Structure 1
Amino acid sequence: MNRSIAIGAGVTAVVVAFVLYLSAFTVGMTQQAIVLQFGDPRQVITEPGLHWKLPVIQNVVFIDKRILNLDSPAEEIIAKDRKRLVVDAFARYRIVDSLRFYQSVGDPRNAIQRLQPNFVSSLRNVLGDHTLEELVRDNRAGLMKNIQTAFNLATQQFGIEVVDVRIRRADLPEQNSQAIYQRMQTEREREAAEIRAQGNEEAQRIRARADREATVIIAEAERDGQLARGEGDATRNNIYAEAYSRDTEFFAFYRSMQAYREGLKGDNTTMIVTPEGEFFRYFGAEAGRVRR
């Protein structure tokens, strides 16, 4: 009898423990939980700790409370000016309404498949309203904020909040990159040719101005030289005239001496004159008496 009671108590304890095991579940600090009964939500649990459910007929789905990443493969975006751009971007979101999230998405593992098309659509809508030049040069932070706003509006029914959007890179397709590179190279070469032409033109202007200034300087120097020579000749002539007027005989003698010097300048010069000639007029006795 006692043995049967002990066995019954043991079996009861095992059954109770098993029922408790099936009924208890723990919600972590980073989790939310939805209690389902035959697939229908019965309770949403947001507080961490030990919680209970009806065994067998109820089950629990756990929802992550942390900020989650949504990566999108690189997408080719057509800009407003029909130019193509390859954009690699990602978003960060968190689940703020776990019940709505479960009802719209179902299994949390399906979230990426449900959210990714909305993210790509938001990228295309926002970036497609700008030209390629605007996408490359404008404030990228503003573009990412606009994408975040559009993605939030597109995913309201999923019970999530988009907290951030980032563009890793935005590149031209390979064929466009080559075409733009060639165009940029052509433009740089044209600009370089224009700069060289402007430099040559400026150099020619500088040389022409320098030549004009040199011509003016040389002409002024020659004019000043001629004026100086003229003044010197005039002074010399005045001196000669004054000397001649003071002593005409001596002046005539001096001019004769200069003529002798010029006439006998060469090493092999021979002069044949008669003593009575004009050349020796000032070396005779009469000339000496005239001077005395």
Structure 2
Amino acid sequence: MNQKALIGAAIGVVVAGAVTLSTLFTVHQTEQVLVVQFGKPVRVITEPGLHAKIPFIQNTISFDRRLLDFEGRSEEVILGDQRRLIVDTFTRFRIVDPLQYFQTVGFGEAAIRARLSSIVPSALRRVLGNEPLLSVLSEDRARIMAEIRQQVNAEARRFGIQVEDVRIRRADLPEENTQAILSRMQTERERVAREARAEGAEVAARIRAAAERERTVILAEAQAQADIIRGAGEQEAIRIFADAFNRDREFFAFWRSMQAYREAFGEEAQARLVLTPDSEFFRFFREIPKDVRAAEAR
């Protein structure tokens, strides 16, 4: 009798435990739970802690309440200036309405990722289709991404999710466009280099012209100063010769004749003179000036 009572008590404990486990459940702080009864949603539990449900009739479906990531595939987009751009994006979203999410998507994340794989590229094409390449690569990029996020969020809200951010991870030009742009950049750089060289040559020509003009002015001023000094020197020499000549004209004439004899008959003289013996040039060979005779007499 006691054995049957123990077995019954054990069965009761097991049944009670099973009922308890089927009744009580825990909601983690990173989760939100949807209680369904025969496949139909009954209530949403967002508060973490211990909760209860009808055992064996109601079930729970957990949804992550944290930020979820979605990385889209590379998309080729035509920009507003008709340039092509290959864009990689990533999206961050969270489930804010588990009931609506369950009714429109289901309970898995794969379905919402499939929806986002069409929503994000569509918004990306709509927005970037009105923007030039320079805007995408400039400070306007933040404004463009905010507009894309707004459009994606407007479409994704009907699935019970909220899009927190959409970012362009990478934006590349197609290979054929890259080569064309590189060629244009090289041509532009060469044009700028030619302009810089031309401007440099022009500046150099101006500097050389100014230096040549300054050199000419300096040489002219120096030549004028030299002519003035030379003229003054010649004037002084003439004055000295005149004073010497006026002091003793006969001796000056003799001295000048001696200078002429030295130049005409010196060792380095190459000239030949054909003169008569009584020529005035040989006057001092025939007679000695009085001053010279007086000097010899002393």
TM range (shorter): 0.7 to 0.9
In the alignment, the residues of structure 2 paired with residue 284 and residue 235 of structure 1 have an alpha-carbon distance, to the nearest angstrom, of 28
Contact 1:273 1:279 in 2 (8 A): no
Q: Which amino acid aligns with 2:217?
A: V
* Higher mean C-alpha displacement, 62-71 vs 263-272: 263-272
* Higher mean C-alpha displacement, 11-20 vs 61-70: 11-20
Q: Could you say which residue in structure 1 is the equivalent of 2:182?
A: 181
Matched, 1:45 2:52: no
What's the secondary structure of 1:220's corresponding residue?
A: helix
Contact 2:251 2:291 in 1 (8 A): no
Contact 2:149 2:166 in 1 (8 A): yes
Matched, 1:278 2:279: no
Deviation at 1:172, TM superposition (A): 0.9
CA 1:176–1:142: 2 relative to 1, 3 Å: same
Contact 1:93 1:161 in 2 (8 A): yes
Contact 2:251 2:289 in 1 (8 A): no
Deviation at 1:5, TM superposition (A): 4.6
Q: Could you say which residue in structure 1 is the equivalent of 2:167?
A: 166
Deviations 1:38-93 (A, max 9, x none): 22110111122222222333211101111111111121121111111111111211
Q: Cα RMSD (Å) of the superposition?
A: 3.0
Q: Could you say which residue in structure 2 is the equivalent of 1:103?
A: 103
In the alignment, the residues of structure 2 paired with residue 3 and residue 229 of structure 1 have an alpha-carbon distance, to the nearest angstrom, of 151
Q: Could you say which residue in structure 1 is the equivalent of 2:241?
A: 240
* Higher mean C-alpha displacement, 176-185 vs 54-63: 54-63
Deviation at 1:210, TM superposition (A): 2.3
Deviation at 1:285, TM superposition (A): 7.0
Contact 2:254 2:289 in 1 (8 A): no
Deviation at 1:149, TM superposition (A): 2.2
What's the secondary structure of 2:87's corresponding residue?
A: strand
Q: Which amino acid aligns with 2:131?
A: H
Deviation at 1:281, TM superposition (A): 4.7
Structure 2 unaligned blocks of 5 or more: none
Q: Which amino acid aligns with 1:43?
A: R
* Higher mean C-alpha displacement, 176-185 vs 152-161: 152-161
> Moved runs in structure 1, 4+ residues, more than 6 A?
268-276, 284-287
CA 1:281–1:25: 2 relative to 1, 3 Å: same
Deviation at 1:278, TM superposition (A): 0.5
Q: Which amino acid aligns with 2:154?
A: L
Q: Could you say which residue in structure 2 is the equivalent of 1:143?
A: 144
Deviations 1:78-132 (A, max 9, x none): 1111111111111211222222222222123222112232222222222222101
Q: Could you say which residue in structure 2 is the equivalent of 1:22?
A: 22
Deviations 1:260-282 (A, max 9, x none): 32223316889999799503255
CA 1:265–1:222: 2 relative to 1, 3 Å: farther
Q: Which amino acid aligns with 2:158?
A: Q
CA 1:257–1:100: 2 relative to 1, 3 Å: same
Q: Which amino acid aligns with 1:266?
A: E
Q: Could you say which residue in structure 1 is the equivalent of 2:195?
A: 194
In the alignment, the residues of structure 1 paired with residue 265 and residue 277 of structure 2 have an alpha-carbon distance, to the nearest angstrom, of 16
How do residues 33-72 of structure 1 correspond to structure 2 at under 5 angstroms? 33-72=33-72
What's the secondary structure of 2:25's corresponding residue?
A: strand
In the alignment, the residues of structure 1 paired with residue 290 and residue 193 of structure 2 have an alpha-carbon distance, to the nearest angstrom, of 93
What's the secondary structure of 2:229's corresponding residue?
A: helix
Q: Which amino acid aligns with 1:140?
A: R
Matched, 1:133 2:134: yes
In the alignment, the residues of structure 2 paired with residue 47 and residue 196 of structure 1 have an alpha-carbon distance, to the nearest angstrom, of 73
Deviation at 1:290, TM superposition (A): 11
Contact 2:101 2:107 in 1 (8 A): no
Q: Percent identity?
A: 47
Q: Which amino acid aligns with 2:267?
A: G
What's the secondary structure of 2:242's corresponding residue?
A: helix
CA 1:285–1:149: 2 relative to 1, 3 Å: closer
In the alignment, the residues of structure 2 paired with residue 97 and residue 147 of structure 1 have an alpha-carbon distance, to the nearest angstrom, of 22
Q: Which amino acid aligns with 2:60?
A: V
CA 1:232–1:281: 2 relative to 1, 3 Å: farther
What's the secondary structure of 1:283's corresponding residue?
A: coil
Deviations 1:176-231 (A, max 9, x none): 11110011011111211222222223223322332233233323323332332222
Q: Could you say which residue in structure 1 is the equivalent of 2:205?
A: 204
CA 1:94–1:268: 2 relative to 1, 3 Å: closer
TM-score where L is the length of structure 1 = 0.87
